[in-house]
């Protein structure tokens, strides 16, 4: 029984243990399942979380270093601003273009509604006549632009897209690439959308790098962007800096400007850098584009800050992976002295204005039939026309009719264009030979023919220049009509540009289409309108008074009722006095008139170390308008300006040195023993008859026979051409008495080389290559031949003479400092060589230059100077139809030089004005006059004429 009982208990326990075991096994199974399930869920969660995260790199530009003058005055700095940026955050879909276009449209509206403007670079611009034009300046840049648009170089070349017009490329961008609805948006808006889309598209391969589309925006724009973020995804506000330039008119050609890096620049600057190198440039970087900004880019740019973060799909930051702070760039301290630069620029402008006024005459000058002579005056009607031609007053503004005069001018202009169109039509309908047409009609035809070639209607590359009929046209011995019809039959005309279909058209039908094309072209071509107005001014239909009144009507000048009423008398003499007085007051500048002379340059250097103290070129421009992003309207104005303000004449303006070269020839003659010593003399004559044609000395042309028997010092003092003709001839003459020009040139060049004249000057900014003459040792010895040097190169040469033979490369940079103004490095000009000449040669050259000032060609100009000066005048003729260039080079004080000065005023007709300006610059430097004296000085139209 007991055994049965225990057995029963055993069975119960056993069954319960089993059940408990099963239960626990069940619990363990559930737990395992739940754990496994949780793991799957978590795994899936983290997988989803990973997919929603994106690593994003945020770049922060290093603050660009400042640029300062030699005394610490800030010339370029950074101003904190806010920008609007645009990043493509739209997923790919069939509607992506439509969405991005709408975002662009909304962003444009918001920005412009609050007084700001879109600011992006784009290689296509709209000109004054509403035509699309390429703004790129080289085929390489244009090719890159087209590759960006069409996808590959092969496609560009295969489809001959380099020949496509800007309008065709723009149409492709709008209609095919970006699918901009040109029915929905007006043309101006379409153009802005295309500009934005193109820039955003360029960044598509650099994800998370936004494009700046508006700069220095107002608080109102900032608020509006934030309030409307729902309709402008990807558009946001960022802190940034804008480059600001002080004293821009004086320093723009030296400092240059910054801008968003171009594709070509980025490729070049990143060459040799690894893909993960943080110093690599990216498409949003702002870099130096010209001048010191470009030359010292690596010094100024600073180090970019890089932050890598994780964001969710809405752009919210989740975590920071790594961060490197940006570092500011270093400062560049120039050798230039602000006040000297300013004084020299103002003195130069006033001197040019005075020469210009002295050249303007109150009568007509027939330039086409003008005889060859020393002086070429400017007829007053040419001045009136230049106010229109150089866009000082605007023909397109006439339609506003803000005054009775403007309305009258508008009506005259419309009538003149209507009559010109009728004239052109009659010419194109007529078989009259070109040579039998009036000058005005010939001028119209020349312009139209050039435009047909520029528009690729007449295919320049297809013309067979050896064709007999073409040669007849080239000589202008046939009618325009006959020539164009011949061009059509010979397939020199681009039918595709004229026809909407590919069907056959006859020669006459095609010619009619050309006529229609010309008619439309005239309607929208302001350049043709200016040409028409030229003739209406000259025939008296439009008076000078009416043109001058536009200066007030269009607010070029502040209204002066007395002056305006004087102009209303239509008195020709009063109008002549009015415009010349405006030039004297610089209310209208020589640059605006853009007639000879309208430009000049001055370089002031310390000959003891190669430091450039002033580097002045006139005219100049406002580099603030080009900073960051080029203002298209201002850029167009600069490009069209006839005075070419973007051209740095001090470093790029090559001219023959004229008689300023004679120190080289003097050294060559003395050191090569052509002259036995400083007191060796030559009996000069008026005409040098050893070569044919026989050149004359300037004194012979002035009515005097010769300079007599003179030595080298006197030859420099009086700038005797005959003396140096003989030196050049003798240098090329061998022991047998045979003249070899190349031999003479080689000997002269040896001394030009060691003096630094044939080398680049060494300045950090762009300069033209100097050219030593390859023509006639006789002519080259007086600075003619094919010599051409920039003023900065003449400065290096004169400085080497001034200091007794130490040939320094010139420099514009004094030192580099850090953000705390501590010196990082001193920039010392390189001493390239020491000119080894006999003491007697040095003494002769220095004494001769001193005598130029004391008893030679400019003695009256320098007679009252407190500082002893040595110098040399020079003139150089470029064209028999224009006045000669005037040059003067100098150093002071004579016994212990502290500065050298080079002044070049193209087409000034005499070196006298250049000598006067050089004198005044030296006076300023040594304290004889100050900035107030410069400001108060009046424009003088009475510069002394010198002969050399």
With beta carbons less than 8 A apart as the criterion, state whether 875 and 782 touch.
Answer: no
Q: Above 80 in pLDDT, residue 703?
A: no
From CA 657, how far away is CA 904, in angstroms rounded? 9
From CA 84, how far away is CA 106, in angstroms rounded? 13
The closest of 525, 526, 567, 576 to 546, measured between CA atoms, is 567
Average pLDDT over residues 665-681: 97
Name, in order, each residue with C-beta under 8 angstroms of 713's C-beta and a sequence gap of 6 or more. Answer: 678, 844, 847, 848, 851
- What are 502's two structure tokens? 């590919």
User: Could you tell me if residue 243 is left (phi over 0), alpha (psi between -120 and 50 degrees) or otherwise beta?
Assistant: beta
What is the 3-class SS of 668-682, one letter each residue? HHHHCCCCCCCCCEE
Written as one string, the DSSP assignment of 520-558 is HHHHT-HHHHHHHHHHHHHTTSS-HHHHHHHHHHTTSS-
The mean-pLDDT minimum among 501-510, 672-681, 936-945 falls in 501-510
Average pLDDT over residues 364-382: 85
Angle at alpha carbon of residue 411, lines to 407 and 416, rounded to 5°: 145
The mean-pLDDT minimum among 229-233, 252-256, 316-320, 898-902 falls in 316-320
Burial of 94 (0-12, 13-18, 19+ CB in 10 A): exposed
From CA 101, how far away is CA 189, in angstroms rounded? 10
Alpha carbon distance, N-terminus to C-terminus of the chain: 153
From CA 146, how far away is CA 177, in angstroms rounded? 12
| Percent of the chain scoring above 90 in pLDDT | 73
Phi, psi of 869 (to 5 degrees): -120, 145
pLDDT band at 372 (very low <50, low <70, confident <90, very high): low
- What are 216's two structure tokens? 């220095």
With beta carbons less than 8 A apart as the criterion, state whether 740 and 734 touch.
Answer: yes
Give the pLDDT confidence score for residue 935 in this predicted structure. 93
Phi, psi of 811 (to 5 degrees): -140, 150
Name, in order, each residue with C-beta under 8 angstroms of 328's C-beta and a sequence gap of 6 or more. Answer: 62, 63, 64, 65, 302, 819
Within 13 Å and on the Cβ side, how many CA atoms surround 762?
24
- What are 28's two structure tokens? 């363990």
Q: Above 50 in pLDDT, residue 2?
A: no
- What are 565's two structure tokens? 């009423």
Q: Pick from 32-36, 322-326, 629-633, 855-859 the range whose average pLDDT is largest.
A: 855-859
Average pLDDT over residues 142-159: 90
For residues 21 and 96, which has the higher predicted lDDT (pLDDT)?
A: 96
Name, in order, each residue with C-beta under 8 angstroms of 100's C-beta and a sequence gap of 6 or more. Answer: 88, 90, 178, 197, 200
With beta carbons less than 8 A apart as the criterion, state whether 845 and 838 touch.
Answer: no
Strand partners, 240: 81
pLDDT band at 40 (very low <50, low <70, confident <90, very high): very low
Give the pLDDT confidence score for residue 42 in this predicted structure. 42
Tell me the pairing of strands 870-876 and 331-334: unpaired
> Could you give the residue ranges of the DSSP H alpha helices within 90-234?
96-113, 139-150, 153-158, 166-172, 187-202, 219-227
Q: Above 70 in pLDDT, residue 932?
A: yes
Tell me the pairing of strands 67-68 and 331-334: parallel
Three-state DSSP class for residue 764: coil
Q: Above 70 in pLDDT, residue 43?
A: no
From CA 808, how far away is CA 697, in angstroms rounded? 34
Give the pLDDT confidence score for residue 633 in this predicted structure. 84
Within 13 Å and on the Cβ side, how many CA atoms surround 487?
31
Q: Above 70 in pLDDT, residue 579?
A: yes
CB atoms within 10 A of CB 496: 9
- Spell 180-208 as b/e; 16+ CB within 10 A means b: beeeebeeebbbbbbbbbbbbbebeeeeb
Give the pLDDT confidence score for residue 52 in this predicted structure. 53
Q: Above 60 in pLDDT, residue 25?
A: no
For residues 746 and 276, which has the higher predicted lDDT (pLDDT)?
A: 746
Give the pLDDT confidence score for residue 144 in this predicted structure. 87
Written as one string, the DSSP assignment of 212-281 is EEE-S--HHHHHHHHHTGGGSTTEEEEEEEEEEETTHHHHHHHH--EEEPPHHHHHHHTTT--TT-TTS-
pLDDT band at 390 (very low <50, low <70, confident <90, very high): very high
What is the 3-class SS of 721-756, one letter each residue? HHHHHHHHHHHCECCCCCECHHHHHHHHHHHHHHCC
From CA 42, how far away is CA 209, in angstroms rounded? 34
Which residue is it, tokens 């440039």? Answer: 281
- What are 83's two structure tokens? 């920008």
From CA 8, how far away is CA 192, in angstroms rounded? 98
Q: What is the CA radius of gyration of the chain?
A: 37
Strand partners, 310: 55, 319
Give the pLDDT confidence score for residue 27 in this predicted structure. 56
From CA 793, how far away is CA 501, in angstroms rounded? 58
- Summarize pLDDT for 517-529 with one digit per residue, the tens: 999 999 888 999 9
From CA 209, how far away is CA 58, in angstroms rounded? 8
- Summarize pLDDT for 633-653 with one digit per residue, the tens: 898 899 999 999 999 999 999
User: Helices 572-584 & 544-553, crossing angle to 10 degrees?
Assistant: 50
The closest of 261, 353, 315, 310 to 584, measured between CA atoms, is 353
- Summarize pLDDT for 729-747 with one digit per residue, the tens: 999 999 889 999 999 999 9
CB atoms within 10 A of CB 472: 15
- What are 789's two structure tokens? 């040097």
Three-state DSSP class for residue 908: coil
Give the pLDDT confidence score for residue 603 in this predicted structure. 98
The closest of 922, 916, 883 to 901, measured between CA atoms, is 922
Which residue is it, tokens 């002066």? Answer: 560
Give the pLDDT confidence score for residue 332 in this predicted structure. 98
User: Could you tell me if residue 708 is left (phi over 0), alpha (psi between -120 and 50 degrees) or otherwise beta?
Assistant: left
Which residue is it, tokens 């153009």? Answer: 191
pLDDT, averaged across the chain: 91
Calculate the dihedral angle through the C-alpha atoms of 662, 665, 669, 670, rounding to the nearest 10 degrees.
70
- Summarize pLDDT for 172-213 with one digit per residue, the tens: 999 999 999 989 999 999 999 999 999 999 877 665 678 889
With beta carbons less than 8 A apart as the criterion, state whether 890 and 920 touch.
Answer: no
Own/partner contacts of 557-560, CB < 8 Å, gap of 24 or more, are 557/582, 557/587, 557/588
With beta carbons less than 8 A apart as the criterion, state whether 193 and 104 touch.
Answer: yes
- Summarize pLDDT for 295-332 with one digit per residue, the tens: 999 999 988 888 888 877 656 778 888 888 889 999 99
Tell me the pairing of strands 899-905 and 600-606: antiparallel
Within 13 Å and on the Cβ side, how many CA atoms surround 832?
18
From CA 591, how far away is CA 771, in angstroms rounded? 28
pLDDT band at 369 (very low <50, low <70, confident <90, very high): confident
The closest of 643, 413, 419, 361 to 547, measured between CA atoms, is 413
Supply the pTM of this predicted model.
0.89
Name, in order, each residue with C-beta under 8 angstroms of 9's C-beta and a sequence gap of 6 or more. Answer: none
The closest of 97, 396, 444, 348 to 886, measured between CA atoms, is 348
Q: Above 80 in pLDDT, residue 685?
A: yes
CB atoms within 10 A of CB 101: 23
């Amino acid at each position: 029984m007991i055994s049965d009982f225990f057995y029963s208990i055993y069975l119960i326990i056993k069954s319960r243990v089993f059940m408990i075991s099963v239960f626990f096994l069940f619990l363990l199974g559930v737990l395992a399942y739940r754990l496994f399930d949780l793991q799957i869920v978590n795994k899936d969660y983290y997988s989803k979380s990973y997919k929603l995260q994106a690593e994003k790199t945020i770049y922060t530009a290093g603050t660009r270093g400042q640029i300062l003058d030699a005394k610490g005055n800030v010339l370029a700095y950074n101003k904190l601003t806010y920008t609007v940026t645009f990043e493509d955050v739209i997923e790919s879909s069939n509607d992506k273009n439509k969405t991005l276009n709408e975002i662009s449209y909304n962003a444009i509206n918001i920005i412009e509604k609050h007084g700001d403007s879109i600011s992006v670079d784009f290689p296509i611009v709209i000109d004054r006549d509403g035509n699309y034009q390429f703004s790129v300046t080289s085929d390489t840049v244009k090719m890159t632009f087209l590759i960006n648009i069409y996808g590959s170089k092969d496609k560009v070349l295969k489809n001959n897209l380099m020949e496509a017009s800007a309008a065709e490329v723009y149409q492709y961008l709008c209609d095919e690439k970006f699918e901009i609805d040109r029915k929905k948006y007006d043309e101006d808006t379409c153009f802005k959308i295309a500009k934005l889309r193109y820039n955003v598209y360029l960044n598509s391969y650099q994800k998370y790098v936004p494009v700046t589309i508006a700069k220095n925006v107002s608080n109102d724009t900032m608020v509006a962007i934030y309030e409307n973020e729902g309709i402008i995804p990807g558009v946001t506000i960022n802190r940034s800096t804008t480059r600001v330039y002080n004293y821009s008119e004086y320093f723009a050609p030296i400092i240059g400007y910054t801008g968003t890096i171009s594709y070509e620049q980025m490729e070049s600057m990143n060459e040799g850098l690894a893909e993960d190198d943080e110093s690599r440039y990216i498409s949003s970087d702002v870099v130096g584009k010209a001048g010191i900004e470009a030359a010292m880019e690596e010094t100024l740019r600073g180090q970019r800050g890089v932050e890598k973060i994780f964001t969710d799909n809405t752009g919210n930051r989740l975590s920071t992976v790594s961060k490197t702070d940006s570092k500011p760039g270093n400062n560049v301290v120039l050798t230039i002295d602000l006040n000297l630069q300013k004084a020299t620029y103002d003195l130069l402008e006033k001197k040019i204005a005075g020469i210009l006024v002295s050249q303007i005459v109150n009568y007509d000058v027939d330039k086409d039939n003008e005889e060859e002579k020393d002086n070429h005056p400017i007829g007053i009607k040419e001045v009136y026309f230049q106010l229109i031609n150089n866009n000082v007053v605007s023909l397109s503004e006439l339609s506003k009719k803000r005054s009775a005069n403007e309305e009258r001018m508008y009506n005259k202009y419309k009538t003149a264009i209507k009559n010109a169109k009728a004239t052109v039509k009659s010419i194109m309908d007529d078989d009259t030979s070109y040579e039998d047409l009036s000058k005005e009609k010939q001028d119209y035809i020349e312009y139209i023919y050039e435009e047909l070639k520029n528009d690729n209607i007449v295919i320049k590359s297809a013309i067979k220049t050896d064709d007999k009929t073409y040669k007849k046209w080239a000589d202008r011995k046939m009618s325009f009509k006959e020539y164009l019809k011949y061009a059509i039959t010979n397939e020199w005309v681009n039918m595709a540009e004229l026809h909407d279909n590919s069907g056959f058209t006859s020669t006459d039908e095609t010619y009619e289409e050309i006529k229609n094309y010309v008619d439309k072209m005239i309607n929208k071509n302001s350049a043709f309108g200016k040409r028409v107005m030229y003739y209406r001014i000259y025939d008296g239909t439009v008076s000078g008074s009416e043109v001058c009144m536009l200066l007030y009507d269009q607010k070029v000048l502040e209204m002066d009722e007395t002056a305006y009423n004087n102009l209303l008398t239509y008195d020709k003499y009063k109008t002549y006095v009015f415009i010349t007085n405006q030039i004297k007051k610089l209310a209208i500048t020589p640059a605006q008139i853009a007639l000879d002379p309208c430009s000049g340059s001055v370089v002031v250097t310390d000959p003891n170390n190669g430091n450039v103290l002033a580097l002045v070129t006139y005219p100049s421009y406002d580099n603030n308008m080009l900073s960051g992003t080029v203002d298209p309207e201002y850029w167009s104005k600069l490009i069209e300006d006839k005075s070419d303000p973007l051209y740095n004449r001090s470093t790029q303006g090559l001219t023959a040195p004229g008689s300023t070269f004679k120190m080289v020839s003097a050294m060559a003659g003395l050191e090569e023993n052509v002259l036995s010593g400083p007191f060796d003399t030559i009996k000069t004559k008026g005409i040098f008859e050893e070569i044919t044609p026989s050149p004359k000395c300037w004194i012979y042309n002035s009515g005097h026979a010769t300079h007599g028997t003179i030595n080298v010092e006197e030859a420099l003092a009086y700038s005797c051409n005959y003396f140096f003709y003989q030196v050049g001839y003798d240098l090329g003459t061998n022991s047998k008495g045979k003249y070899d020009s190349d031999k003479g040139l080689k000997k002269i060049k040896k001394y030009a080389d060691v003096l630094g004249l044939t080398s680049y000057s060494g300045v950090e900014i762009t300069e033209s290559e100097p050219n030593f003459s390859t023509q006639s040792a006789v002519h080259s010895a007086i600075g003619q031949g094919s010599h051409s040097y920039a003023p900065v190169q003449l400065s290096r040469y004169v400085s080497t003479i001034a200091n007794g033979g130490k040939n320094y490369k010139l420099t514009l940079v004094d030192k580099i400092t850090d953000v705390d103004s501590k010196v990082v490095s001193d920039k010392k000009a390189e001493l390239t060589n020491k000119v080894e000449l006999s003491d007697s040669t040095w003494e002769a050259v220095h004494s001769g230059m001193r005598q130029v000032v004391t008893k030679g060609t400019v003695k009256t100009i320098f007679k009252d100077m407190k500082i002893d000066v040595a110098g040399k005048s020079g003139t150089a003729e470029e064209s028999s139809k224009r006045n000669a260039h005037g040059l003067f080079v100098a150093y002071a004080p004579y016994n212990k030089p502290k500065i050298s000065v080079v002044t070049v005023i193209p087409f000034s007709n005499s070196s006298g004005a250049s000598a006067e300006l050089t004198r005044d610059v030296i006076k300023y430097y040594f304290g004889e006059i100050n900035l107030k004296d410069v400001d108060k000085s009046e424009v003088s139209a009475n510069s002394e004429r010198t002969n050399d």
